[in-house]
Structure 1
């Protein structure tokens, strides 16, 4: 009890520190913005600008605070993973696997060949471990396309015939995907959940090596209070230029952000819906999602299930934690901007459902914070678009910009926004550059710095495109516009310019209009307005060019977007025969210092 009380006090102090840092950063940023807007006093325009800026802040400030904490832990802790997940120190590599664990692969209208490619090395490793009898693979299909279903059943039947005498495998297909992925897993829990103690959740594009699965099981075995343990997920090496640059930035940002947030969130950690392990009994008993509404015979289900399931698990008294190691699992990233936007809008719709759930009884304060932040992640987009519109109008209509904003404080504010915006990636980049082995893993300091610069420009283009996409979609939600769960195209493919322009004409119009007005009225301000309007103006060519196979292959060969797995590929990734790893195996073009 003494240890529990001490741990509780430590966690309270950590959360208090984060809260103070968050609030001080919020207030300081707003004061800086108010000072920048001070010329001529405060009018309606200034109040509106400050209000919109306040809406954009929480997501950036949370990222900055998490990155700062994460960087300190990464640089000054002897074991950053143990610092945020003490249970890892109780586990030894030779600890036996005694619990029965289900591995749940959820698929819907996917190409089974790719899914089986990712499963084969995992099954081989589990069989070689000597613990195959402790695992049971469940292929849980929600495929509704009749033609795909025929091929899926044939491929999965062959998989069972190949591996069935070494490890248990079951295949089930629902004809109606009620409740989406959460309903798929709920159906498993009700049918077979009482047969197993744990469940590993996988998406169709997930890849987890056997040793990662065994490690998650070992940690769950030593900590009976753990309800969900989430593994860190990184992108599989890709030959799509769009995905390569995205996965490089994601790798840098996830490292500091996850460690920093795990340090203060503690037992209220994240669940991302896949590449994680669940304790099945409490999950079945406490994590059934509430029905949002029933319109006649049509049920409206929660789309983004993971955050709510984590909150319900913690409300039931079980811990939800993250294991921030980068060798636990991989996933495919969307190969093009248009595919990325489709996935992003599905997340947007799911996160907007959380406002009905923030007030659920028994949720912890941290869980409510996570739900609110998930909503603000997308609510901030219309605020950014509003700021772009107001900035354009102010520059086009004013005689002297100094009457609107102080140039000296405004420059400081802009720099501060960029620091907050990129802070998780900056922290990750500094951590790499300060460690010789890390620099080598990313292909050398020179290549790494070039890649960081490319990714920074890429993000400055990408984010405003997404902000406009979110804004249009959220406006459509007022008229009950929904996103259906469409088939995801995971393979590299071309994006014709005509298609890109058809889908991205609103971004193009907003960007070009803003740039044109500023160029006509205040051409000196063009470099500043480019940060918000440049990306939308070139959205269509950006979508087309980043999907070019020629550029993607060239990037893989020259090390643009290079990941550590391409410098020294783990054996289990070699089994996937990824083209990006084959291209990266050629002699490097730059120094590996």
Structure 2
């Protein structure tokens, strides 16, 4: 194995003079006041928004749980039915919460207002690009575009760009140094760019950012943290700095990153969903989070002073995966900064903030493995002293985003067992004690239909509201192919989601099991090319999903034909998992969808910088042909 050495040229002009800043490690077990400090006065409507979201979630969950109880309950209640009803209540509460947030977001869609300082009042801002074995040419191209866009906004004297490398392989390091050295030369005096590589990548990305803060943080008022696939318009970068300058209690201001720049069918479906449904949910979150919001780790501006004084992360006690360095550090940094009295909030209507999505299901799963461990690790952080209660809700949301899959799986298996018991076990018509009439088992098909309708409504309301909002917005409507394009995309996304959801249920359930068995995910570079995995490889990776689908289908059919029909979307999704994974991972499938006016987004018609990717979709497809 090659020895890691620091081979970055040690010239005085590669990095600016250090301006050190103390960043103390935070105490998670003690907080002097016992309560978070005030982060400034929230909008008076915040209490109404929170009441609406939690009341609506509680009401929907109560109604759904009551209906499922009425559907499955005979005269005698068994422990298996209690488990089934409890699992249903938890999973239904999860989707009800998302539905309530979406409804709130739709109601608040036109209520977005924020105060901006004059451009000459903004402080010194560092644009940070952490990289770990990323393609340097691709990253350099994105930074060049953002640097020139900042200069076009006449704010280049306020911004510096830092490439913060954690790469380990000597050959890759040499390539980085050459590419970013050339980029620094090409940008010239337009905007300052610096390249730094750490010899020891302690605490991964969180440590990478902390290293910048402790060495150069004293020279900057704010920092905008990017991911390697981030792209932000110059006006967006400047607006974030102006918003921060106008609010002296703001610690983090998060933009809403939209997905873009991918052509596989899977990625295009995700891009459409994020572009049309995402703003509705994000507006709802921003409305009830208020100044007690969250941070997603990138495409956000952070006050360097707040980060230094409040976001120093400790090592967690115990062995990995629950111990060690904090993996999903962004949620924790937001919670600690809010605890210290700094506001954390989102500007969902800002626009001009983008990232890329994994091109296929396998690459999404590879990223999700690390995220699942990081979010489940937050179980140890729920009792951190002094946190705002909304910060604890953020932790719970992250935890539930992965626990929901095994809970759904347990619900499915419990339902199959219940159905099997009902078919092959003779019911007790005459329980102990005197009864004038037999206790006949009851299955109410009318209530079952009502429950199904309620569940579909809760699942589809966010999507329907997103489509309605897109139809109302002329730019978004045209960019998504008009009303016909929106409707076709809605049906296509719903169909593909129905096929993909059971696959992700099993994938994430496996991840959760891995974490609880003590298996560490490690830290691997993310693959960002659109090359589809070979079908043989997908057959191997999805083999147990196919087997699970066949077993569920056979068991359901042996119970009753109706049971099989009810479970047919799950059986079909799992049984065809390799085919669906392969087909949705093809660029040709995504291009065909574009031709059919499906899964289009406005950024393809009006790219961020005018010439993004060198061509619009029509030119791209014509060149490919």
TM-score normalised to the size of structure 2? 0.86
Task: Give the Å deviation of 1:410.
Answer: 1.8
**SS in structure 2 of the partner of residue 96 of structure 1:** helix
Distance 2:597 2:148 in 1: 31
Q: Which residue of 2 aligns with 1:570?
A: 607
Following TM superposition, by how much is the alpha carbon of 1:323 offset from its aligned partner in structure 2, in angstroms? 0.7
Tell me the residue number matched to 1:117.
141
Aligned to 2:397: 373
Does residue 150 (structure 1) correspond to residue 174 (structure 2)? The answer is yes
Instruction: State the partner residue of 1:128.
Output: 152
Which residue does 2:77 correspond to in 1?
42
Aligned twin of 2:293: 269
Distance 1:338 1:458 in 2: 16
Whole-angstrom distance in 1 between the partners of 2:196 and 2:125: 18
The answer to whether the 8 A contact 1:70-1:258 is kept is yes
Match of 2:95 among 48, 60, 69: 60
CA distance in 2, matches of 1:263, 1:350: 26
Aligned to 2:510: 472
- How far the C-alpha of 1:399 sits from its partner, in A, is 3.1
The equivalent residue for 1:240 is: 264
Q: Residue 21 of structure 1 aligns with which residue?
A: 56
Shift of 1:404: 7.4
Contact 2:264 2:360 in 1 (8 A): yes
2:563 maps to which of 508, 518, 525? 525
User: Could you tell me how far apart the structure 2 residues matched to 1:230 and 1:140 are?
Assistant: 21
User: Where do 1:118-267 residues align within 5 Å?
Assistant: 118-267=142-291
* Mapped contact 1:52–1:387 kept (Cα < 8 A): yes
Residue 384 (structure 1) aligns with:
408
Aligned in 2, Cα 1:581/1:369: closer, same or farther, shift over 3 Å?
Answer: farther
Please say which of residues 358-367 and 122-131 is displaced more in the overlay.
122-131
Residues 68-87 of structure 1 aligned to structure 2 (within 5 Å): 68-74=103-109, 77=110, 80-82=111-113
In 2, the alpha carbon distance for the partners of 1:392 and 1:501 equals 27
Displacement of 1:421? 2.6
Q: Distance in 1 between matches of 2:554 and 2:544?
A: 15
Shift of 1:8: 6.4
Give the distance between the partners of 2:179 and 2:442, measured in 1 at CA. Answer: 65
Question: Distance between the aligned counterparts of 2:460 and 2:400, measured in 1?
Answer: 18
Task: Assess, with a 3 A threshold, how the Cα gap between structure 1 residues 395 and 577 changes in structure 2: closer, same or farther.
Answer: farther
Matched with 2:360 is 336
- 8 Å Cα contact 1:230/1:277 also seen in 2: yes
Change (3 A) 1:7 1:134: closer
- Distance in 1 (CA, whole Å) between partners of 2:166 and 2:615 is 27
Contact 2:72 2:81 in 1 (8 A): yes
Q: Give 1:557's match in structure 2, choosing from 589, 595, 601.
A: 595
Structure 1 residue 578, shift from structure 2 partner: 6.0
Shift in Å, 1:48: 1.2
Paired residues of 1:118 and 1:576 also in contact (CA < 8 A): no
Distance 1:175 1:415, change over 3 A: farther
The Cα RMSD (Å) is 2.5
How far, CA to CA, are the matches of 2:619 and 2:101 in structure 1? 35
2-side partners of 1:329 and 1:311: how far apart? 23
Q: 532, 538, 541: which is aligned to 1:503?
A: 541
Q: Output the TM-score relative to the length of structure 1.
A: 0.91
Change in CA separation of 1:6 and 1:187 when aligned onto 2, cut-off 3 Å: closer
Deviation at 1:583, TM superposition (A): 4.1
The answer on 1:460 being equivalent to 2:495 is: no
Which runs of 5 or more structure 1 residues have no equivalent in the other structure?
A: 83-87, 587-593
Match of 2:30 in 1: none
- The match for 2:116 among 78, 86, 91 is 91
Query: Helix, strand or coil for the counterpart of 1:476?
Result: helix
Q: Is residue 307 of structure 1 aligned with residue 314 of structure 2?
A: no
Q: Residues 216 and 528 (structure 1 numbering): CA distance in 2 closer, same or farther, change over 3 Å?
A: same
2:428 maps to none
1:58/1:373 contact within 8 Å kept = no
Q: Deviations over 1:357-415 (max 9, x none)?
A: 11111111111111112111211211111122223334445439995753222222223
Cα shift at 1:571: 5.1
Contact 1:557 1:583 in 2 (8 A): no
Offset of 1:64 from its aligned partner? Answer: 0.9
- Which 5+ residue runs of structure 2 have no aligned equivalent? 1-38, 426-439
1:207–1:9 CA distance, 2 compared to 1 (3 A): closer
